[in-house]
Structure 1
Amino acid sequence: MRVLIRADASIAIGSGHIARCLTLANALREDGAEVVFACRQLPGHLLQRLSDQGYLALGLPDRYPQEASGAGIEALLPWQADIDALASALGNERRFDWLIVDHYGLDARWERAARQFADHLMAIDDLANRPHAVDVLLDQNYSAQAQDRPYAQWLEGACKTFLGPRFALMRDEFQCQPIVIKARVERVMVNFGGFDAARQVYATMLALSDFDDLQVDFVAGLHNPEWTAMSEQAKARPNWRLHTLVSDFFGLMQQADLFIGAGGGTTWERAALGLPTICMTVAHNQQLNAQLLAKAGGHLYLGAHDTLDPQRLVDAVAVLRDNRELRQSLAERSRALVDGKGAQRLAVALAAPVLALRQATERDARLLFEGRNAAHVRQWAFNADLIDWDSHVAWLASSLNNPQRLILIGDTPRGPVGMVRYDREGDSVEVSIYLFEGHAGVGWGQVLLASGERFLRRHWPDVRLIQAQVLADNAVSVSLFQKAGYAQAERHFQRVLNDE
């Protein structure tokens, strides 16, 4: 699978768009995808960082002739100029399977034109204020989950939406155990993004100057405008450590008892760790999410940075420092929203249109034997007994010679993910499905059903009905078949196949 990502970073825009796209790119690459980035060469661009991580990173112009000077980060770009620049940068690159766009300045007009580069399009958004013409849309913020259909008026045609922090694009390391909530805060971490153009690391440094007992890690980011002043402040306090960037941001977060920062991408990293947070927003697009997350008890939100009385931050630190119960509540409520598998879920969703199943062979005997006998499969099987090897081998041999049975394996570059089986009687089939160990919870079930249905239409084009038997208390399977378009009959699910 080939994927093109269109996103920008700059001192004004920040690094968040590139950071979350890079996380998704890494997940896609682990699944065997080839990923290319296209980014404008704005002041503070991260093209070299992308190249250093092994990606082809194409540079686009830093300015277009039709572009208004001094426009904000949410202002629309001249979309045709950007399309032309992208076409020029791509040159003779082969067509992509997916184009992912993460940019406030590009809307449905750009997306329609971008169909010339890719078969499928995905947009990453968190504003819900402009039209999209894409196949998949991701908004990983809590505000997207808490509001009623925030993108209903903005989507054209059939678009699959992934809304809320369950789909937050996070590195695998954040599938982790929570930090221990201590009786008293000993160590604080402060970070306001990759560039901190709002100068909030320095403002926080001044607010913490009277807390002599706290160890503090200030991660100031690249090209911080207050670096000299902060360096002088840090020299005078042995408990303070000032960093530009850190190679192990996750490890530094694990050591903290309290985080002070903005409402951007690290929101969900903090939540996954159960790291109590004092949040101040540094951009307009962060405010709604920060407010709603605070209302849900996920963090302490003090408001927008440019209207904040510094004494409120001092008071908030003083309150949380000794209040273990409050910090425990913040940790538990935020952690309940994320599990760190969002990037894997999106990578699986993007693989869905291009995943090809193969028919099982005798060489799959061991794979199917271990898959069928796995505890998570037997738990919901109508026959929960262990199958012995000789019986399994005989069953597989018979099945492979049965013209009324299809056994299909979903293979990826990482290895096989699951099995889907169809047993035919007349113009209807019964479907059975299970995932192999380690592949549950990220969407492979839906992908296998969709891919299996495509295979079924080719192999048995006269089949008109698919049925599935599900135990009544198997909530996961019930949800799986409902999402796949199956209607629940009295004791089973069924799906009528229409001609396409």
Structure 2
Amino acid sequence: MKIRIRADASAQIGHGHVMRCLALAQALRERGAEVVFHSRPLVGNAFAAIEQAGFAVQSLQREGVLPACDWLIVDHYGLEAQWERAQRGNAKSIFVIDDLAGRWHDCDLFLDQNLAAARREASVPERCRQLLGPRYALLRRAFAEARVQLAPRSGKIERVLVCLGGGDPDNVTGQIVALISAAFPQLVLDVVVGAASPHIDTLRQRWAHDPQVRLGVAVDTMAVWMRDADFFIGASGSMSWERAVLSLPGIMLSLAENQRPIAQAIDAAGAGIDLGSAQDFQAARLLACMRELLATPDRVQAMSMQMGQLCDGDGAVRVAAAILDG
């Protein structure tokens, strides 16, 4: 079966779309499908990551009709029903991944992996099959494997993972690391940034030789970093479901509008703390929150248990089955 994936990554939009599509692509390839990516050559793109995973990627200079395929997978906030309808002549079936409300799609299969996902009869065709919620979250197999190795979490915070996603154009990462390292010298900080981050050199110059901080760039062992951490501070994007598989609670900041419902839903479930938009980041509020959590390990442990119930890590396998088995 020939499958084409339309998804982009950049320093501005991050790598979340491509990374979740890569997880699905790997599950599809294991079932014998041939998968090709189609992406724009934006600054900070994920071409290298796609090719490193063993998939071909074709560079798109402009939007148009893609070559013939059995399934076209679309994970892109800039594309909706009109573009998808134009692909019908070459794509036998269309699968759309979207977590923004109020967008119209012409598709045969639809996925919204968010906890707050609602059925979308008004925005997809009546015939469309819908996959909703973190049960279908598209994650690499490494997270489900790490879940098996995970020791029970005590709620005591000693090691904190800081990650604001693949882009972080405003260097919120640097602000948080400076704040937490100064206020809580007893904590070890594991800091992960994407290869597209424009602030890598700045972060390295500041913390490369600081024993309190371990800096990783575009790490391919994120499941291990999450497994070994006690707590998380960072973005509330698709990373949230990776953390859920590993019962890693955290404080969340939203870097984009589509991340807000994720943070709100996780907070409402008692599995994390939503500090709102990263643009409105308040140092005093973060420090107060951390002081309270460091003093109440029972609360952190309860958050961890709630987080672990949200997602099991097998979503990519379920979605691949929905595509290939119908």
Query: Of residues 154, 168, 178 in structure 2, which corresponds to 1:206?
Result: 178
Q: TM-score, normalised by structure 1?
A: 0.62
How many angstroms does 1:59 deviate by? 0.4
Residue type at the aligned position of 2:128: C
Partner Cα separation in structure 2 for residue 112 and residue 224 of structure 1: 35
Partner Cα separation in structure 1 for residue 90 and residue 37 of structure 2: 13
**SS in structure 2 of the partner of residue 346 of structure 1:** helix
Partner Cα separation in structure 2 for residue 181 and residue 174 of structure 1: 16
Question: CA 1:57 to 1:226, structure 2 compared with 1: closer, same or farther past 3 Å?
Answer: closer
Q: TM-score, normalised by structure 2?
A: 0.94
**SS in structure 1 of the partner of residue 183 of structure 2:** coil
Query: Of residues 174, 195, 207 in structure 2, which corresponds to 1:222?
Result: 195
Match of 2:154 in 1: 182
**SS in structure 2 of the partner of residue 142 of structure 1:** coil
The answer as to 2:141 corresponding to 1:172 is yes
Partner Cα separation in structure 1 for residue 320 and residue 275 of structure 2: 35
Partner Cα separation in structure 2 for residue 255 and residue 333 of structure 1: 18
Percent identity between the two aligned chains = 39
Aligned residues: 322
Higher relative contact order (CA 8 A, sep 6+): 2
Partner Cα separation in structure 1 for residue 44 and residue 127 of structure 2: 37
The answer as to 2:217 corresponding to 1:244 is yes
Query: Of residues 245, 253, 263 in structure 2, which corresponds to 1:290?
Result: 263
Alpha-carbon contact 1:99-1:117 (below 8 Å) kept = no
Query: Of residues 28, 51, 70 in structure 2, which corresponds to 1:97?
Result: 70
Partner Cα separation in structure 2 for residue 228 and residue 58 of structure 1: 30
How many angstroms does 1:227 deviate by? 3.2
Rg comparison, structure with higher value: 1
**SS in structure 2 of the partner of residue 83 of structure 1:** coil
How many angstroms does 1:333 deviate by? 1.2
Alpha-carbon contact 1:133-1:157 (below 8 Å) kept = no
Partner Cα separation in structure 1 for residue 226 and residue 246 of structure 2: 8
How many angstroms does 1:254 deviate by? 1.1
Alpha-carbon contact 2:113-2:131 (below 8 Å) kept = yes
Partner Cα separation in structure 1 for residue 159 and residue 257 of structure 2: 29
How many angstroms does 1:7 deviate by? 0.6
Alpha-carbon contact 2:10-2:196 (below 8 Å) kept = no
Partner Cα separation in structure 2 for residue 285 and residue 198 of structure 1: 18
- 5+ residue gaps, structure 1, are 65-81, 354-500
Partner Cα separation in structure 1 for residue 156 and residue 51 of structure 2: 43
Partner Cα separation in structure 2 for residue 338 and residue 220 of structure 1: 24
- 5+ residue gaps, structure 2, are none
Alpha-carbon contact 1:198-1:282 (below 8 Å) kept = no
Match of 1:328 in 2: 301
Match of 2:227 in 1: 254
Question: CA 1:307 to 1:115, structure 2 compared with 1: closer, same or farther past 3 Å?
Answer: same
> What does 1:311-390 align with in structure 2 at a 5 Å threshold?
311-353=284-326
Match of 2:58 in 1: 58
Match of 1:263 in 2: 236
How many angstroms does 1:179 deviate by? 4.3
How many angstroms does 1:233 deviate by? 3.1
Q: CA RMSD in A?
A: 1.6
How many angstroms does 1:83 deviate by? 2.0
Residue type at the aligned position of 2:89: Q
Partner Cα separation in structure 1 for residue 36 and residue 198 of structure 2: 32
Partner Cα separation in structure 1 for residue 26 and residue 15 of structure 2: 16
Partner Cα separation in structure 2 for residue 197 and residue 235 of structure 1: 20
**SS in structure 1 of the partner of residue 275 of structure 2:** strand
Query: Of residues 247, 263, 278 in structure 2, which corresponds to 1:305?
Result: 278
Alpha-carbon contact 2:160-2:190 (below 8 Å) kept = yes
**SS in structure 2 of the partner of residue 316 of structure 1:** helix
Query: Of residues 124, 127, 139 in structure 2, which corresponds to 1:158?
Result: 127
- CA offsets, 1:266-294, max 9 Å, x none? 10010110011111111111112211221
